[in-house]
Amino acid sequence: MRRRPFTPSIPTVQSIRRTRARLNRRRRRLYEVLRAMHHGAALRLHDDGWALSTGMLVDADIANVVIAGPRIAPVDYALFAETPAQTWR
């Protein structure tokens, strides 16, 4: 049985940088999707996941954060009746 490598309980500078870089990438992607929706793109659920009407694919975790926003409203019809397209209002 292999032992797990020792991980310190106090975050190191490298671990903090990695975490911040990951969160910054996610935040940039979120704002990119919101900016596109502000300019008229709709967020739709397709067979292979979420995508904007411009063709840009959106990760499921980003789509969930976008849908939860107060400025995003369900409109029109989508692939499934329970998941209408989402747009900026």
Q: What is the pTM of this model?
A: 0.72
Tell me the pLDDT tens digit for each residue of 2-41: 777 776 688 889 999 999 999 999 999 999 999 999 998 8
Which residue intervals of the chain are DSSP H helices? 13-38, 60-67
Contact 53, 44 (CB under 8 A): yes
Rg (CA), the chain: 18
Select from 37, 72, 43 the least CA-distant residue to 59: 43
Residue linked to tokens 């996610």: 26
Give the amino acid at 57: L
